[in-house]
Structure 1
Amino acid sequence: MYRLTAAELNEMLHIRREPCVSIYLPVEKVGQDTRQGAIRLRKLIKASHEALRERGLRTPQAEQLLSPVQALVEDALFWEHQEQGLALFASQDSLKIHQLIEKCAESVTISDRFMVLPLLAESERDQAYYLLSLSLDGTRLYLGTRASLTECELAEPRSVKSVRDTYTLEKQLQHHGSSGSSGTVYHGSESAHDKDKLMVEEFLRQMSANLAGSLTLPDAPLVVACVDYLFPIFRSLCKDCRLQDTHISGSPDTLKKEVLTDKGWQIARPFFEQGKHQAIRSYGNLAGTGKTSIGIGNLLPLALQGRVDTLLLSRQPVWGRWDASSGAVLEIQEEQAQFGDPDLLSEAALLVLEHGGTVFLLHDDEMPVSDSCAGLLRF
């Protein structure tokens, strides 16, 4: 799977060269009509070529820049291993490919930087958390994202049996007695029950003590999947502040991996959204004080000046034209008038990130204003 890493994405944010071609298109997964993606890309390559020519690039230069993209059209194997969307970033010296998990609209943007705003939205899916599949018979540790679980190394003990094997257990107490004509045998079952309970607690104590060595990502929350009675015991023993207050209820031995992935993300997600919700609250508290601004026409010049600390954006693009020297918006279009025109929200987001600010992509019902963008200002 072609996925840009966080480091590669950060590197792309700082690329400034002319021209940078960003191509987005929906594609089909395996089992569907996979060649439709190649047909769409051929059309978008033609549109990119025309847009490059309009910007003064000679035909041989445009063909050379787009030749690695053109090669993908004829690569049948490439199209058989796709997700829902595809992003291609071409410049004179490189082609970067990123597969999108969700569908996207067709677009071509040509600028002095790559249009990576949709990738910032997708990066939410790559936020990592730990999932501890806590079972008395065999515990596993996973590194999870919104869409996947990958098993990690986990130190012993991973089961109650491994703890029990390290201890010398007393022989089961037996008390034989008789009453009347029938004999009643007492096997000390209460004592055995107590021993089992102590073994479970000792297993959980050792597990929680050794777990820290496996949780190597310092900012990743910890989610637990286990039967209900185990969780309060484990929570009382685990001192890791990243442990989430709720757990996935049920035996992880019987829960499908897809269920663990989905439920694990639902518990971990609020942890990652704390910054977003704090920014929305801050905007509400500061609105009307001169420390906020609304609308792309106001925010693009402010972003160019480095005055925007936090930018709240709608996920829908705002196509148009702007003056890169002043930040003034020259035209706003209801849709991309021609391939190559920029998304003004992406331009503002890149400027904010370039100046060390923060960008949050929000759904329409999360936006604190009835506009496509709002910002918290530094000064």
Structure 2
Amino acid sequence: MNNFLAHTFTKKAFEQLASIRNQYSVSIYLPMYKKGKELNEGLGQSNLKSCLKKVHAVLVEYGYDKSSVNDYLKPIRNLIFELSFWRNPSEGLAIFLDKDKGMRCYKLPFPFEIKTYVADHFYLFPLLPLFHNNGIYYLLELSRDYVKLYKGSRNNFRDIPIKKIIPKQLEEVVGFDFEQKMLQYRTGHMMYPAGSFHGQGEGKEDEKKELLSFFRKINRGVTKMISDKKAPLILACTDELYPVYKKINSYHKLWDTNLSGDPEFKGTNELHKASWSLIQYYFETKKREKLAKFISKFHTSLTTCQLSEIIPAAVKGKIDTLFVQQKEDVFGTYNSAKGCLILDSYKEMRNISLLNMAAINTFLQGGNVYFLEAEEMPVKNIPMNALLRF
């Protein structure tokens, strides 16, 4: 099968798809179903069959050779019957087909509205949420005998090998008398829970020194391994251990709240969901700042909600931030040489999605693109609002 399948989608992949200009390029988006009745009844395959039927009709309408259209769509049709593909679903599926590269499909971590699009380019703006409000963060699982480091974002979460750089347990730092000391400490000879260092006594002081030494070595290793120094670091640990680690921490963006509980007994998916929930507000700061700036600059030349101004501004790289209303689309044509914009009420062969065009141009030229619910839009009942650079 001539397709490229991936569970991740990089900016480089986006740029490559955006550069393609090939008549009869096909884009298909649909949700996959990870569990329940929809998965058991094959609703994902059924939706793809319906999309394929619609694309077939559009290709014929647009002038594709009737005798060749079935062969062209064969890779997508084959995908419908590949049961192993559907038994390992993600939240959403994006499929791209053109005459030169064949089919590429991506299982992605959020569901899409069902969408088909045929033009001389791909329909890519549903993918842009992958690159916004999706910042990188690190998660350090921490206990006396279990240490693990993860790199995460809204849609991805993977562990980072720490062998030889970060000690995995206290014993590696304090030596082989650790087990005997810990046995005494944990069987009631010490009257304090793990991580508590109040009062006097040689045992408690030894334990405190050993733990601090252990955490210092972890801190040095973690600081070395964090490649993106702007990324926050979250600790997944018990509430008793967090202030101890915080005391020796030298990384400048340690998150001020730990993910509470013993991380060793949490699955990777649970850690990802809980850590993103903890850090999500931090990554939405930029969006809130841009919305506030739009409102403060309203009625100036730095904001617009007119499509006749937004489309040429996007093409010329003048847009700092584009706000797009969810589930909206606008079709038409734009002649950049003449500065002429014509709007249509539906998609046809000669026109394009203007939202797709504006969003892709904004993103590829360093601007921000945010998808908002209707009630969140700065100017209501308008599909696009733009904050301009100049």
Range into which the TM-score falls when normalised by the shorter chain: 0.7 to 0.9
**How far did 1:249 drift?**
1.9
Shift of 1:264: 0.8
2:328 corresponds to 1:317: yes
Change (3 A) 1:230 1:271: same
- Residue 223 of structure 2 is matched in structure 1 by 212
What is the aligned counterpart of 2:65 among 40, 52, 58?
58
**Out of 46, 50, 71, which is 2:53 matched to?**
46
Q: Is the 8 A contact 1:90 1:96 kept in 2?
A: yes
Secondary structure of 1:132's aligned partner: strand
Is the 1:30–1:80 Cα contact (8 Å) retained in structure 2? Answer: no
Q: Deviation digits for residues 240-268 of structure 1, max 9, x if unmatched? A: 22322222122223444443222211233
How far does the alpha carbon of each residue in 1:66-110 deviate from its partner, in whole angstroms, 9 at most, with x for none? 222122123232222222332111111221102233332222112
1:231 corresponds to 2:238: no
- SS of structure 2 residue aligned to 1:328: strand
CA distance in 2, matches of 1:42, 1:18: 22
1:29 and 1:83 in contact (8 A); partners too:
yes
* Contact 2:32-2:90 within 8 A present in 1 as well: yes
Residue number among 3, 19, 26 corresponding to 1:21 in the alignment: 26
Q: Within 2, Cα distance between the matches of 1:162 and 1:45?
A: 58
Shift of 1:138: 1.6
Determine which of 332, 341, 344 is the counterpart of 1:328: 341
Partner of 1:12: 17
CA shift, 1:218, in A, is: 4.2
Q: State the aligned residue count.
A: 358
C-alpha separation between the residues in 1 aligned to 2:273 and 2:86? 27
Q: What amino acid sits opposite 1:131 in the alignment?
A: L
In the superposition, relative to structure 1, how do residues 229 and 73 fare at CA in structure 2: closer, same or farther (>3 Å)?
closer
Identity of aligned residues (%): 27
CA change 1:274–1:191 in 2 (3 A) is same
- CA contact 1:300–1:329 (8 Å) conserved in 2: no
Q: Which residue of 1 aligns with 2:191?
A: none
Change in Cα spacing, 1:210 to 1:106, as seen in structure 2 (3 Å) is closer
CA–CA distance in structure 1, aligned partners of residues 172 and 311 of structure 2: 61
Amino acid at match of 1:57: Y
Aligned to 1:182: none
**Aligned equivalent of 1:357, options 340, 361, 367:** 367
Q: Residue 74 of structure 2 aligns to a residue in which SS?
A: helix
1:338–1:19 CA distance, 2 compared to 1 (3 A)? closer
- 1:120-166 Cα shifts (integer Å, max 9, x gaps): 12445865421101112221112223355432222232322222218
The 1:89/1:324 distance shift into structure 2, 3 A limit, reads: farther
> Does the residue aligned with 1:202 lie in a helix, a strand or coil?
helix
Cα distance, 1:100–1:256 mapped onto 2, change above 3 Å: closer
Q: Say whether 1:344 aligns with 2:354.
A: yes
Match of 1:157 in 2: 167
Any conservation in 2 of the 1:131–1:264 contact (CA below 8 Å)? yes
Q: Map Cα deviations across residues 34-67 of structure 1 (whole Å, 9 max, x no partner).
A: 5333332222222212212222322245334322
2:194 aligned partner = none
Is 1:83 the counterpart of 2:94? The answer is: no
TM-score w.r.t. the length of structure 1 is: 0.83
- TM-fit CA distance, 1:207: 1.3
In structure 2, C-alpha distance between the alignment counterparts of 1:251 and 1:120, rounded to whole Å: 35
Partner amino acid for 2:167?
P
Q: Is the 8 A contact 1:320 1:332 kept in 2?
A: yes
Assess if the C-alpha contact under 8 Å between 1:25 and 1:105 holds in 2. yes
C-alpha distance in 2, partners of 1:302/1:30? 44
20, 33, 36: which one pairs with 2:43?
36
Is the Cα contact below 8 Å between 2:319 and 2:367 reproduced in 1? yes
For 2:89, the aligned partner's letter is: Q
Of residues 204-213 and 216-225 in structure 1, the stretch that sits farther from structure 2 once superposed is: 216-225
Partner of 1:300: 311
Residues 310 and 206 of structure 1, relative CA distance in 2, 3 Å threshold? same
RMSD over aligned CA atoms reads 3.0
Distance 1:306 1:122, change over 3 A: closer
Provide the rounded CA distance (Å) in 1 between the counterparts of 2:94 and 2:287: 25
Q: In structure 1, how many angstroms separate the alpha carbons of the residues matched to 2:271 and 2:322? A: 33
Superposition deviation, residue 283 in structure 1: 1.2
Contact 1:27/1:34 (<8 A) preserved: no
Distance in 2 (CA, whole Å) between partners of 1:254 and 1:26 is 31
Q: Which runs of 5+ in 1 are unaligned?
A: 172-187
- Structure 1: which amino acid aligns with 2:10? T
